């Protein structure tokens, strides 16, 4: 029997963990082939590839990000290969199997919930070894009627075989983001999240997980993400794994975890700050909202004060990058409340701030309460909301406009100095800067075109000139610093218009060569001769006293910025007072 486990990933670099667990569990009696595609691949190409494999059974792993594309593939596949049995599984089809079976008569069976044992049972059914009626945890249509079988007992995760021992995966391990789980389930009950449905937390075999990680690193893995919903729910378990990864990591490997910030003990953070190599770990922390009533309504227990302590301690350690999540559209969080939430979190200056929008996932408590909170939402995946009883569609659009520039101007860290000045000094709050810039961005039409690095600087300058509040001399100076900081070699195409003649530049260079001490000790330490001065430095006018700025003061002062580019290293900056040179 020829069997295939297929999925459409969001991007090629993702590697689906679920279908690999299914394949490992199906062995040795069956050995399904793994077929991964992306949601960008033309459906006819996917179908042609699957058809060429002449499958008897195809199982699809379904999520909100791929379900609609998967539907198209299923319908086409059944047309060209009507005898192929089609099985669906995954979170998107688990909680409303009747809907999917009605919408997709091409589907033979849907697996509801944990799928390893159920999928193997179904392969036995199609091989003629057992009856469909004996398989737990499935739904199907029989003689026009929906049949739903109750789920069986939960698997003993300690007995599951490794999903990482397939030889054909080895050449790809260094090119893809790999996912690993050390537990299933979540102790919390957040009503917008599917993880709240499964009660309790079950753990995999610790030593086997460690062996898997050793195997992945030995075969070139570089990015490994733990998909545990709350990695640090058990402090002793988290500490054991942190210590293992610190002791045995391969340089260049990065591990990412979903962390619950307010239960992270200070001594754990101190341990990581003292022992973890910089860049080894990344934390993703879900904040979602700082509105107490909102958190109470979605049954989310959160101590924002303790969460903030965690974020600050981690940031002070300088070893671990942090990604914080927000969700717009939660119950009773109106526009002003979300503005407060955004500003509360931005104060922490996370390396990344993800602004997401509520999706009413099938099976979640909030979807069942949609009418109570006046939710209007898209009826196809990903089920994103349009509005609710306190947030109208205009408000949602304004928040969405904020998301675009937040990603480009904060999360990408192209202009940290400039953005910090704008959100701290010029605009009433960080949210106001990103929101107003985002609205202008949309009105001008920039959201529909591409952007080079230079374009991003020019567009910010245009917005600020239009807005009129900023001291543009200071802003342009900070923008120049940011732009040059992003280069390790002299830029060929700066975003600003040329402001100095070659003659004026040469005059200052001659002065520096004649009397280096006028530029200060740092310049003398550079030990530049005439050739290296012209070749390795870049001179432009700025209106910001760099020494005062480095001390935390922003003072307007006419002068020049001398930038040293050397051997592809980070550039060094020196401010020259105009009257000095």
What is the per-residue pLDDT across 438-482, written as a single tens digit (0 to 9) for each? Answer: 999 999 999 999 899 999 999 999 999 999 999 999 999 999 999
Average pLDDT in the 140-165 region?
96
**Quick one: which H or E segment has residue 474?**
helix 472-485
Average pLDDT in the 419-424 region?
97
Region(s) of the chain under CATH 3.40.50.280: 3-148
240 falls in which pLDDT band (50, 70, 90)?
A: very high
- Please write down the long-range contacts of 418-427, taking CB distance under 8 Å and 24 or more positions apart: 418/460, 418/475, 418/478, 418/479, 418/482, 421/474, 421/475, 421/478, 421/554, 422/464, 422/470, 422/475, 423/346, 425/554, 426/469, 426/470, 426/471, 426/475, 427/469
pLDDT for 514 equals 92
**Contact status, residue 98 vs residue 71, Cβ threshold 8 Å:** no
Span 502-529, pLDDT tens digits: 999 999 999 999 999 999 999 999 999 9
Average pLDDT in the 526-553 region?
92
Specify the pairing of strand 202-203 against strand 183-184.
Answer: antiparallel
- The Cα–Cα gap between 106 and 462 comes to 54
**Contact status, residue 22 vs residue 118, Cβ threshold 8 Å:** no
Mean pLDDT for the chain?
95
How big is the chain, counted in residues?
581
**DSSP 3-state helix, strand, coil percentages of the chain (rounded to 5)?**
45, 20, 35
Is the predicted pLDDT of residue 73 greater than 80, yes or no?
A: yes
Is the predicted pLDDT of residue 386 greater than 90, yes or no?
A: yes
Q: 128: phi > 0 → left, psi -120 to 50 → alpha, else beta; which?
A: left
Is the predicted pLDDT of residue 53 greater than 90, yes or no?
A: yes
- Give Cα 140 to chain centroid, integer Å: 36
567 falls in which pLDDT band (50, 70, 90)?
A: confident
198 falls in which pLDDT band (50, 70, 90)?
A: confident
203 falls in which pLDDT band (50, 70, 90)?
A: very high
**Contact status, residue 88 vs residue 110, Cβ threshold 8 Å:** yes
Burial class (CB in 10 A: 0-12, 13-18, 19+), 561: buried
- The Cα–Cα gap between 144 and 319 comes to 59
Cis, bond preceding 87 (omega within 30 deg of 0): no
Is the predicted pLDDT of residue 550 greater than 90, yes or no?
A: no
Is the predicted pLDDT of residue 416 greater than 90, yes or no?
A: yes
Is the predicted pLDDT of residue 200 greater than 90, yes or no?
A: no
pLDDT for 10 equals 95
208 falls in which pLDDT band (50, 70, 90)?
A: very high
Cβ atoms < 10 Å from Cβ of 512: 22
Half-sphere exposure of 391 (CA within 13 A, CB side): 29
CA distances from 242 to 97, 109, 237, 251, 504 (A): 39, 41, 9, 15, 57
Average pLDDT in the 293-312 region?
96
Fold exhibited by the domain 157-391: TIM Barrel (3.20.20)
pLDDT for 243 equals 97
pLDDT for 579 equals 85
3-state secondary structure of 408: helix
581 falls in which pLDDT band (50, 70, 90)?
A: confident
Residue 35, both tokens: 């077929």
pLDDT for 283 equals 97
- The Cα–Cα gap between 136 and 431 comes to 50
Q: What is the pTM of this model?
A: 0.93
CATH number given to 3-148: 3.40.50.280
Region(s) of the chain under CATH 3.20.20.70: 157-391
Least Cα distance to 213 among 238, 244, 256 occurs for 244
- Which range is least confidently modeled, 218-232, 327-341, 369-383, 489-503? 489-503
pLDDT for 125 equals 98
249 falls in which pLDDT band (50, 70, 90)?
A: very high
Is the predicted pLDDT of residue 29 greater than 80, yes or no?
A: yes
Is the predicted pLDDT of residue 199 greater than 90, yes or no?
A: no
Is the predicted pLDDT of residue 206 greater than 90, yes or no?
A: yes
């Amino acid at each position: 029997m020829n069997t295939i486990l297929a999925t459409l990933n969001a991007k090629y670099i993702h590697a689906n963990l679920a279908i690999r667990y299914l394949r490992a569990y199906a062995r040795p009696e069956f050995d399904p082939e793994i077929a991964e595609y992306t949601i960008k691949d033309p459906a006819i190409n996917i179908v042609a590839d699957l058809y060429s494999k002449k499958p008897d059974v195809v199982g699809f792993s379904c999520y909100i990000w791929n379900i609609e594309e998967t539907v198209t593939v299923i319908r086409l596949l059944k047309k060209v290969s009507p005898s192929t049995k089609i099985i669906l599984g995954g979170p998107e089809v688990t909680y409303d199997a009747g809907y999917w079976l009605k919408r997709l008569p091409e589907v033979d069976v849907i697996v509801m919930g944990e799928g390893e044992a159920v999928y193997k049972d179904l392969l036995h059914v199609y091989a003629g070894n057992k009856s469909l009626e004996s398989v737990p945890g499935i739904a199907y249509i029989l003689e026009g009627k929906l049949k739903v079988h109750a789920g069986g007992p939960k698997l003993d995760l300690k007995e599951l075989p490794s999903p990482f021992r397939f030889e054909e995966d080895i050449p790809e391990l260094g090119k893809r983001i790999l996912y690993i789980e050390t537990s299933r389930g979540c102790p919390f009950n957040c009503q917008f999240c599917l993880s709240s449905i499964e009660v309790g937390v079950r753990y995999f075999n610790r030593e086997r997980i460690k062996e898997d990680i050793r195997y992945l690193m030995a075969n070139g893995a570089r990015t490994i993400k733990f998909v545990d919903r709350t990695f640090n729910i058990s402090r002793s378990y988290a500490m054991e794994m942190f210590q293992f990864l610190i002791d045995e990591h391969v340089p260049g490997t990065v591990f990412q975890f979903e962390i619950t910030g307010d239960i992270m003990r200070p001594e754990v953070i101190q341990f990581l700050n003292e022992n973890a190599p910089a860049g080894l770990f990344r934390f993703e922390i879900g904040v979602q909202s700082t509105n107490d009533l909102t958190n109470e309504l979605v049954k989310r227990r959160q101590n924002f004060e303790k969460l903030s302590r965690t974020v600050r301690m981690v940031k002070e350690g300088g070893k671990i990058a942090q990604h914080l999540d927000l969700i717009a559209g939660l119950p009773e969080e109106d526009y002003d409340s979300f503005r407060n939430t955004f500003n509360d979190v931005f104060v922490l200056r996370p390396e990344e701030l993800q602004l997401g929008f509520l999706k009413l996932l099938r099976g979640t408590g909030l979807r069942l309460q949609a009418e109570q909170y006046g939710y209007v939402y898209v009826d196809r995946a990903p089920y994103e909301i349009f509005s609710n009883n306190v947030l109208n569609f205009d408000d949602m659009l304004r928040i969405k406009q904020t998301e675009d520039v937040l990603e480009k101007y904060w999360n990408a860290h192209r202009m940290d100095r400039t953005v910090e000045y704008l959100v701290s000094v010029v605009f009433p709050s960080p949210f106001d800067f990103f929101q107003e810039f985002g609205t202008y961005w949309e009105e001008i039409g920039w959201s529909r075109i591409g952007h080079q690095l230079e374009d991003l600087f020019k567009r910010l300058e245009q917005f600020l000139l239009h807005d009129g509040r900023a001291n543009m001399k200071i802003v342009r100076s900070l923008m120049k610093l940011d732009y040059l900081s992003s280069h390790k070699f002299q830029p060929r195409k700066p975003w600003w218009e040329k402001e100095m003649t070659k003659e004026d530049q040469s005059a200052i260079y001659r002065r520096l060569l004649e009397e280096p001490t006028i530029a200060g000790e740092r310049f003398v330490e550079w030990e530049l001769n005439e050739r290296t001065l012209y070749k390795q430095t870049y001179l432009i006018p700025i209106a910001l006293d760099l020494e005062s700025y480095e001390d935390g003061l922003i003072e307007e002062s006419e002068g020049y910025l001398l930038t040293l580019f050397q051997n592809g290293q980070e550039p060094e900056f020196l401010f020259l007072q105009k009257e000095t040179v």
